Amino acid sequence: MVRSMSDILTITLNPALDVATSVDAVVPGPKLRCAEPRYDPGGGGVNVSRALLRLEGSSQAFVAFGGETGSMALSMLKAEGIDVAHFPTAGNTRQSFAILDESTGKQFRFQLPGPVWQPDQTERMRAALEPHLAKGRIAVMSGSLPPGVPAGIASTVNQMVIDKGAQLFLDTSGEALEAAAANPGPPFALLRMDGAEATEVSGKNFASPAELADYGRELIRSGAAERLVMSIGAQGTVGVTVDDRFFCCPPKIETLSAVGAGDSMVAAIALELSRGGSFRDAVRHGVAAAGSAVMTPATQLCSKATADEILEKVVTEEI
């Protein structure tokens, strides 16, 4: 039974228990004594829901948690006040690690694979997800896929979402992103990727925001998506539709941790669009939220106060 019908539903099939800590220096050989760890529920859609809460929005989180690590992450997510639609899965939810080398200030990130899904589990997930889709809702499918889940599952979910009169925003990577770029079905309402992912998918190098926008327009014309959001790290983010293309540039920001920046961006974009904002304004809010997230240490996400301050300094350029 659906317990909430907030405007935004997040979908996380491969969540994580995020662990963040630090060491004096990352060197091979000796045991490295770590500082007290920080634990957070993580994974793409989970972080989008958590970021929405920090931006004074709300969502329902459809999450596939399993095992002891999954139970821990589930309890933490509920404790934050997020409405969780739990899809129980076999095996233990994966862990991810963010290690700060205090001698250099560099952050090392390690991610374990998720539990392997069998075909029947994918089918059960689709059946469990269907009641949570509703007309007018924005569904955000974000993060990697568990081993065993077909790379094209997002297109299947997209058709389910469209059939319900909703729209799907997709933010994924690897083979799942390649499948999305070659999406054979109806276009995704929004597809997000960064410049490196665009290079991996297309086999092309992009020397400028304009070249990245050209590739985004290609994807739109091919029917992959209606809107593209393409980030170039600290430089800014390209927004593309069939008849518009622009580049949002943030002010110079000191990066403490890149964890959750993309998820914070997607959260702010979905929130602004759910409130009737324009696509340009949504991307501006996304850039500001991402900037806020990189200013926080370890696995912490954005804050509304900081995002609002950055928003005033985001510059939008025509490309």
13-48 residue pLDDT tens: 999 999 999 999 999 999 999 999 999 999 999 999
Of residues 80, 81, 106, the one with CA closest to residue 25: 106
* Burial category of 18 from C-beta neighbours within 10 Å (exposed 0-12, middle 13-18, buried 19 and up): buried
On the question of pLDDT at 300 being above 90, the answer is no
pLDDT of residue 133: 97
Q: b vs e for 35-62, b when ≥16 Cβ sit within 10 Å of the residue's Cβ?
A: eeeebbbbbbbbbbbbbbbbbebbbbbb
Residue 3 maps to a domain: no
Residue 1 maps to a domain: no
Amino acid identity of residue 230, one-letter, is M
For range 162-183, the mean pLDDT? 96
Residue 69 maps to a domain: yes
Residue 221 maps to a domain: yes
194-252 residue pLDDT tens: 999 999 999 999 989 999 999 999 999 999 999 999 999 888 999 999 999 999 999 99
For range 164-183, the mean pLDDT? 96
Residue 52 maps to a domain: yes
Contact predicate 100/107, CB 8 Å: yes
Q: Which position has the higher pLDDT, 294 or 151? A: 151
Of residues 81, 68, 94, the one with CA closest to residue 13: 94
- Give bridge partners of residue 85 from the DSSP assignment: 62
Strand 237-240 to strand 245-249: parallel, antiparallel, or no bridges (unpaired)?
antiparallel
On the question of pLDDT at 4 being above 70, the answer is no
Residue 87 maps to a domain: yes
Residue 158 maps to a domain: yes
Q: Which residue has the tokens 């409405």?
A: 83
Query: Which CATH number is 292's domain given?
Result: 3.40.1190.20
Catalytic site residue from 24, 263, 281, 308:
263
pLDDT of residue 1: 33
The number of domains in the chain is 1
pLDDT of residue 95: 97
pLDDT of residue 5: 58
On the question of pLDDT at 259 being above 80, the answer is no
47-72 residue pLDDT tens: 999 999 999 999 999 999 999 999 99
Contact predicate 70/18, CB 8 Å: no
Structural domain that includes position 206: 8-318
83-132 residue pLDDT tens: 999 999 999 999 999 999 999 999 999 999 999 999 999 999 999 999 99
263 is a catalytic site residue = yes
